[in-house]
């Protein structure tokens, strides 16, 4: 699993490592300094003190011995007091040495010194008593040499050994402290050198890592700035087209507003016209009702005419029937006359006079036949005229009926027109109201579009600024690339 470290984390980690190294170096330095200090303190506080206490002990022994000899020589009691004070110092020194020495050999030497000093004091006390009882110096000298001096030599030897030992211990402790200090200095040098190497390695790794990371980020920034430039260009072009479109929309909305107002005025006029039309429709309805009544009267008159004409037709039919009889009679007369003429022609001269009569009869029959034909023609014309008239009147009746029905339809249509005109009036008013509302809405839309146009212009301006910023960002990324990669290109 690869963890992605941020720039700050890496820098922080580097500084943390360096600070850690500094802390380690500081801790080691403190530890070494404390070690050296402890060594020196050991030398100063223990060895030097023990050596000083040993010298003090030797000096106190010397003062006690000098006080003893002084008393032996003078017999003055002040020397006894001095001797006692020196002995107190000796006891105190031995007590301190017992508390401070830390080796068995030194402790045995202190105990030997304490025992030797006690034996010396016992010997010295016997000599002091002797001094009080034996006033001669010679006897005192012998006694002193025999009893005190060996004890003194043994004590001096013990104290000398202790002093030598303490001095040797002090020299050894001093060498050990110097050695510790030298080791500490060497160790600190090595640690500092290692810390410098490690810090340099961390610096190099951190520099390379951060440079690579910053380079990648700068590359991304350059790529992004290029895309941002492209997007800003497109956005600027789009904003420009949008601004043009918004201007066109604004113009169109203005025209729409004018049209809406015209529609509202037209709707108002339509409402007035519809009211006038409703009045005209009501008047037309009344007129149609009157016309319907008039047409009803015409229909009744036409019914009467048809009745009379049908009567005339029937009578013409009767005349035709009678005329058929007359014509038949004339034909028969004609045939009889023709036959009479034939008979007269067959009789030659005998039938000539009969033939003349038959001829006259035939002519009369022809005339009757011609007259009946004319009458038939006239009757036929009359019947045809009657039929035409009847048909025309029937057509007129049908037309009148149709007219009445159409008048009814017209009346209904006028009423429907009146209703529809009322509806139209209402609709025209609603259209007027709606158109006014529409005009108000269009005005609001126009205001909104104007705001959008301003926003579009601002967007265009912002796009240009974005483009400029993207260009500056590209320049900055190039400069940053040059900063982190002086020899490499971006």
Partner 1 sequence: MGTEELLVIRIAGDPYAVRAREMSGLTPGGRIVPVPGPLPELLGITAIKGGLVPAFSLGALLGYPQARELPSWLLLCGGDQDRVALGVERFDRYTRVPRADISVADDLRDRPHVPELARTEAGICGVIDIRSVLEAITRRIAGAGRQKE
The site for partner 1 (CB under 8 A) is made up of 335, 337-339, 341-343, 345-346, 348, 355, 359, 362
Contact 153, 65 (CB under 8 A): no
Number of neighbours of residue 356 by Cβ within 10 angstroms: 12
CB of 377 to partner 1, least distance (A): 19
CB-CB contact of 301 with 441 (8 Å): no
**Cβ at position 406, least distance to partner 1 in Å:** 53
Give the relative orientation of helices 104-133 and 149-346 as an angle to the nearest 10 degrees.
150
Task: Please report, for residues 88, 217, 452, 471, the alpha-carbon distance to residue 467 in angstroms, rounded to integers and kept in the order given.
Answer: 101, 20, 22, 6
Instruction: Name the nearest CA neighbour of 218 among 487, 4, 475, 465.
Output: 475
Distance CA 107, CA 156 (A): 16
Whichever of 125 and 359 has its CB closer to partner 1, that residue is 359
Q: Smallest Cα–Cα separation from 94: which of 54, 122, 134, 132?
A: 54
Phi, psi for 404 (deg, rounded to 5): -65, -45
CB of 405 to partner 1, least distance (A): 51
Nearer to partner 1, 37 or 371 (CB): 371
Cβ-based neighbour number of residue 395 at 10 Å = 13
Expressed in angstroms, the distance from the first to the final Cα of the chain is 30
Q: Judged by CB, which is closer to partner 1: 92, or 329?
A: 329
Phi, psi of 5 (to 5 degrees): -95, 140
Least spacing, CB of residue 375 vs partner 1, in Å = 21
Taking the complex as a whole, how short is the minimal distance between the CB of residue 342 and partner 1, in angstroms?
A: 5
Q: DSSP string spanning 48-66?
A: IHHHHHHHHHHHHHHHHHH
Nearer to partner 1, 231 or 338 (CB): 338
Query: Could you tell me the smallest distance in angstroms from the CB atom of residue 379 to partner 1?
Result: 23
Indicate the residue among 149 and 336 with the shorter CB distance to partner 1.
Answer: 336
Q: Choose between 171 and 347: whose C-beta lies nearer to partner 1.
A: 347
- Residues near 278 by beta carbon (within 8 Å), at least 6 away in sequence: 418, 421, 422, 425
For partner 1, give the closer residue by CB, 14 or 369: 369
Cα gap 250→241, rounded to integer Å: 14
Distance of alpha carbon 407 from alpha carbon 394, whole angstroms: 19
CB of 301 to partner 1, least distance (A): 48
Which residue lies nearer to partner 1 by CB, 16 or 346? 346
Q: Which is nearer to partner 1, 81 or 343 (CB)?
A: 343
Least distance to partner 1 from the beta carbon of 341, Å? 6
Query: Measured from the CB atom, is 59 or 338 closer to partner 1?
Result: 338
Q: Which is nearer to partner 1, 116 or 355 (CB)?
A: 355
Number of C-alpha atoms within 13 angstroms, CB side, residue 149?
A: 7
Q: How far is the CB of 348 from partner 1 (least distance, A)?
A: 7
Q: Give the burial class of 484: count Cβ atoms within 10 A of its Cβ; 0-12 exposed, 13-18 middle, 19 or more buried.
A: middle
Listing DSSP states for 282-338 in one string gives HHHHHHHHHHHHHHHHHHHHHHHHHHHHHHHHHHHHHHHHHHHHHHHHHHHHHHHHH
CB of 339 to partner 1, least distance (A): 5
Instruction: Write down the least CB distance from residue 327 to partner 1, Å.
Output: 13
């Amino acid at each position: 699993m690869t963890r992605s470290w941020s720039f700050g984390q890496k820098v922080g980690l580097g500084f943390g490592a360096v600070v850690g190294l500094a802390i380690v170096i500081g801790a080691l330095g403190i530890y070494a300094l404390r070690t050296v200090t402890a060594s020196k303190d050991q030398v100063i506080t223990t060895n030097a003190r023990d050596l000083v206490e040993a010298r003090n002990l030797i000096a106190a022994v010397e003062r006690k011995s000098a006080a003893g000899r002084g008393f032996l020589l003078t017999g003055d009691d002040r020397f006894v007091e001095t001797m006692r004070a020196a002995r107190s110092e000796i006891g105190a020194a031995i007590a301190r040495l017992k508390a401070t020495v830390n080796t068995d050999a030194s402790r045995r030497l202190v105990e030997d010194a304490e025992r030797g000093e006690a034996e010396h004091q016992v010997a010295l006390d016997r000599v002091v008593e002797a001094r009080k009882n034996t006033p001669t110096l010679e006897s005192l000298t012998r006694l002193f040499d025999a009893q005190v001096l060996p004890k003194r030599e043994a004590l001096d030897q013990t104290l000398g050994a202790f002093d030598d030992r303490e001095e040797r211990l002090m020299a050894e402790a001093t060498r050990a402290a110097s050695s510790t200090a030298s080791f500490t200095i060497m160790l600190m040098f090595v640690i500092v050198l290692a810390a410098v190497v490690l810090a340099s390695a961390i610096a190099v790794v951190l520099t390379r890592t951060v440079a690579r990371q910053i380079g990648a980020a700068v590359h991304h920034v350059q790529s992004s700035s290029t895309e941002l430039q492209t997007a800003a260009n497109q956005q600027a072009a789009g904003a420009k087209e949008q601004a043009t479109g918004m201007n066109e929309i604004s113009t169109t909305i203005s025209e729409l507003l004018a049209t809406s107002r015209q529609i509202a005025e037209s709707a108002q006029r339509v409402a007035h016209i519809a009211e006038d039309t409703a009045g005209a429709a009501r008047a037309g309805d009344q007129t149609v009702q009157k016309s319907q009544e008039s047409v009803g009267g015409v229909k009744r008159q036409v019914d009467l005419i048809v009745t009379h004409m049908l009567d005339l037709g029937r009578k013409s039919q009767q005349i035709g029937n009678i005329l058929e009889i007359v014509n038949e009679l004339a034909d028969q007369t004609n045939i009889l006359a023709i036959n009479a003429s034939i008979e007269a022609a067959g009789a030659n001269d005998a039938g000539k006079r009969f033939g003349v009569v038959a001829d006259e009869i035939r002519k009369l029959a022809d005339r009757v036949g011609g007259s009946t034909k004319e009458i038939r023609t006239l009757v036929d014309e009359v019947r045809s005229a009657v039929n035409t008239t009847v048909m025309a009147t029937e057509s007129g009746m049908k037309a009148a009926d149709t007219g009445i029905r159409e008048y009814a339809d017209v009346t209904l249509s006028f009423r429907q027109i009146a209703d529809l005109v009322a509806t139209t009036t209402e609709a025209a008013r609603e259209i007027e109201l709606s158109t006014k509302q529409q005009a108000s809405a269009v005005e609001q839309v126009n205001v909104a579009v104007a705001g959008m146009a301003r926003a579009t212009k601002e967007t265009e301006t912002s796009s240009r600024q974005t483009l400029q910023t993207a260009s500056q960002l590209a320049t900055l990324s190039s400069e940053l690339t040059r900063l982190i990669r002086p020899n490499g290109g971006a």
